[in-house]
A and B are shown apart, each in its own frame.
Chain A
Amino acid sequence: MTAAIEAEGLTKTFGGEFLALNGVGFTVEEGTVLGLLGPNGAGKTTTVRVLTTTLVPDSGWARVNGLDVVKDANKVRSSIGLAGQYAAVDANLTGRENLRMVGQLFQLSRKDASRVADELLEHFNLTEAANRPSKTYSGGMRRRLDIAAALVVRPPVLFLDEPTTGLDPNSRTAVWQVVEDLVANGTTVLLTTQYLEEADRLADNIVVVDRGAVIAEGTPATLKATLGETVLDLGFSDVGAASAASKLFVSSWPAPPVLDGSILELPIDAGPSQVMMALRKLDEAGMAPTSMTLREPSLDDVFLSLTGRRAELGEDN
């Protein structure tokens, strides 16, 4: 396999002090999806901006399709598509005009640009809205137009910066389907996300970033295995009760329990029997939780287990 994206030791400082990137590096094999996972301000967008040539790193290097993103920036630009929160469509232009404009800026003839625009609109189910200014679009439609704009020249490498942030569940599923279609057609995708669920569903590999550095890397399965498949949240009447309950599990539980105020979080990796075991332990000690929830691990859990602290809302660029 050859690498479609390689990055090594990328650093970037903003305003002389805020270290946005602190040695980020990873490799994305051709035809695979990499999920760049992290909270706001972790450096996801900054990484994408370096890889899409709109930001020059202070040090380190990166190659896309074997081309250096600084030295061969213009060649890189010809072979990538970028969609996401910081690369927008023009609100005053119609969907068709937006796509035609991007096509023409890729040096397509007017005729070809129009044809590609119409085909993309149809593919993304936007034909009916094609002649309306894009500011009248719903969030999901705008996101689809945005992704369509990134696909005008069928780039071999596609960057999607938080493609589903702020979308309703239906639109989110629609965007996921688009990405899956593209990957099935051989496109390499790098997508950034704050949702573990999204990375789990779409990505072949996940890179977790925090404070501008990679803190974990692996397939969704390996990452989740280190976390436990599921988390059991047990609510108690107060912090004291929760802390007393946590002592029952500290040494005897396969993965360490986490105390969050009056809520005790227990990683569950062996199915329902383990939930029953937890409840039996509490019952034997004469303790009763006031609430109980079983949920999939969140980004927060990934963070907690990797860094020992909660994902914080950092500066959002």
Chain B
Amino acid sequence: MTSTVLPQAATPVKRSKLRRSINDCIVVTERNLVSYVRIPDQLFFSSVQPIMFVLLFRYVFGGAIATPGMSYVDYLMPGIFVQSLLFGCVSTSVGLAEDLQKGLIERFRSLPMARSAVLFGRTISDAVRNIFVMILITLVGFAVGFRIGTSFGLYLVAFALLILFAFCFSWVFAFIGLSASNSETAGLMAFPILFPLTFASTAFVPAESMPTWLRWFAEHQPVSIAVNATRGLMQGGPGADTTHWVVLTLIWSAIFLAIFVPLAVWRYRRVG
């Protein structure tokens, strides 16, 4: 079977520790993106879900929900953007749990690579995927009557803010993925977190109609804050207080990173 001689060993490139980590991170990110492209059905169905949410809320609930100062579709779309990107984070936990289950993490851990590269590679590739989701939903939104009330520049600011927010939030899911016993559980564990955060929020309906205790939660939790910031940037309007919400969104993003990056890396070192 093996007629040829074994290949000559190649010499590793001399790089600083930081350069090595960046290299590892890029290699893992590339590998994840290739996997996404290789499984087109997964890509297809993960795009179908946000489109369905746009259509359902726009045409089923839209008529029954009164929104102050703007049409429902303009009110809805910022909520849909945030919800879709956060739901996309499920793939962070499922992806890591699958790598763990299939023994890929074991292979990575036996290689002389940066301990954080597998996690950053995963969260970054999910952020790249989120860019496509964001563009896709924007187009669907335009098709059902969504219009930007401010300017295209501010829409882009909102775009960037949400990709960043989702990236930071996905570290929560990196930690979950490494803690779950298998990928199915990792997927299921996401929903008790995502449903209350996205639905008990100002994403789809104004909080005024909720009971007092729920209203307090809905007005202060991070998803609502990100939605308010997005709505302010995309629609503006009197009393939008956009700067306030954008700053709060950035603060929440920093909090997610500060807590869950160390937790996820700690989990990665001890997993298995």
A binding-site residues for B, Cβ under 8 Å: 49, 52-55, 74-75, 77-78, 80, 82, 85-93, 97, 101-109, 112-113, 115-116, 119-120, 122-125, 133, 149, 151, 153-154, 174, 177-178, 181-182, 185
Partner of A106, one of B2, B4, B8, B112: B112
Q: In the complex, what residues of A have CB within 8 A of residue B111's CB?
A: 77, 102, 105-106
B6-40, CB under 8 A of A: which get 1 and which 0?
11111111010000100110010011001100110
Across the interface, which residues of A come within 8 angstroms of B20, CB to CB?
107
| Interface SS majority for chain B | loop
Given contacts A53-B109, A112-B11, A123-B2, 5 further A-B contacts (CB under 8 A): A88-B102, A88-B104, A102-B111, A119-B4, A151-B6
- Give which listed residue, A86, A90, A105, A113, contacts B24 with CB less than 8 A: A105
Q: Are A122 and B102 interface neighbours, CB within 8 A? A: no
> How many angstroms from the CA of A53 to the CA of B111 in the assembled complex?
9
Query: What CA separation (Å) do A99 and B222 show in the bound complex?
Result: 42
Name A76's closest neighbour in chain B (CB-CB).
B112
A-B contact pairs, 12 of them (CB 8 A): A53-B110, A54-B109, A82-B107, A89-B107, A92-B35, A93-B34, A103-B10, A105-B111, A108-B11, A108-B13, A116-B9, A178-B1
Query: Which B residues between 71 and 130 are near A, CB-CB below 8 angstroms?
Result: 102-104, 106-113
Contact of A80 among B13, B27, B102, B110 (CB under 8 A): B110
The answer on a CB contact under 8 Å between B2 and A86 is no
Contact status A82-B103, CB under 8 Å: no
CA distance A185 to B5 in the complex (A): 10
Contact assessment for B110 and A91 in the assembled complex, using a CB-CB cutoff below 8 Å: no
B110 touches A178 (CB 8 A): no
Given contacts A53-B109, A107-B13, A125-B1, contact A93 B35 (CB under 8 A): yes
How many residues in B have their beta carbons less than 8 Å from beta carbons of A?
Answer: 35
Q: Which single residue of chain B is at the shortest CB-CB distance from A52?
A: B110
Task: Provide the residues of chain B in CB contact with A154, threshold 8 Å.
Answer: 6-7, 9
**CB-defined contacts of B7 to chain A, threshold 8 Å:** 115-116, 119-120, 123, 154
Contact A90 B9 (CB under 8 A): no
Residues of B within 8 A of A101 (CB): 27, 30-31
Cross-chain contact B110 with A54 (CB below 8 angstroms)? yes
CA distance A181 to B37 in the complex (A): 38
Does B272 count as interface, using CB distance less than 8 angstroms? yes
Q: Which residue from A74, A78, A87, A133 sits with its C-beta under 8 Å from B107?
A: A87
Task: Decide: B12 and A108 in contact? CB cutoff 8 A.
Answer: yes
Q: How far is the CA of A195 from the CA of B24 in the complex (A)?
A: 37
Q: Is B34 within 8 A of A97, CB to CB?
A: yes
B109 to A106, Cβ gap below 8 A? no
Interchain CA distance A93-B35 in the complex, whole Å: 7
Chain A residues contacting B110 (CB-CB under 8 Å) are 52-54, 77, 80, 82, 87
Distance in Å: Cβ of B47 to nearest Cβ of chain A: 19
Complex contacts, B9 vs chain A, CB 8 Å:
116, 153-154
Task: Check A124 against B2 for contact (C-beta < 8 Å).
Answer: yes
Q: How far is the CA of A183 from the CA of B267 in the complex (A)?
A: 37
Measured between C-beta atoms, what is the minimum distance from B24 to chain A in Å? 6
Q: Collect the chain B residues with CB atoms within 8 Å of residue A185's CB.
A: 6
Chain A residues contacting B24 (CB-CB under 8 Å) are: 105
Residue from B1, B8, B30, B104 whose CB has the most chain A CB atoms within 10 Å: B1
Task: Kindly list chain A residues whose C-beta atoms are within 8 Å of the C-beta of B1.
Answer: 124-125, 174, 177-178
In the bound complex, do residue A90 and residue B4 qualify as a contact, i.e. CB atoms below 8 Å apart? no
CA distance A181 to B4 in the complex (A): 11
B227-261, CB < 8 A from A: none
Q: A102 to chain B: which residues have CB within 8 Å?
A: 107, 111
Complexed CA–CA distance, A104 and B29 (Å): 12
Q: Give the distance in Å from the alpha carbon of A151 to the alpha carbon of B15 in the complex.
A: 22
* A90 vs B34: C-alpha distance when bound (angstroms): 11
Does A177 lie within 8 Å of B2, measured CB to CB?
Answer: yes
Q: Tell me the minimal C-beta distance from B26 to chain A in angstroms.
A: 8
- Closest Cβ–Cβ distance, residue A298 to chain B (whole Å): 27
Q: Contact at B6–A105, with CB atoms within 8 Å?
A: no
Residue of B nearest to A91 (CB): B102
Query: Which of the residues B4, B10, B113 comes within 8 Å of A123, measured between beta carbons?
Result: B4
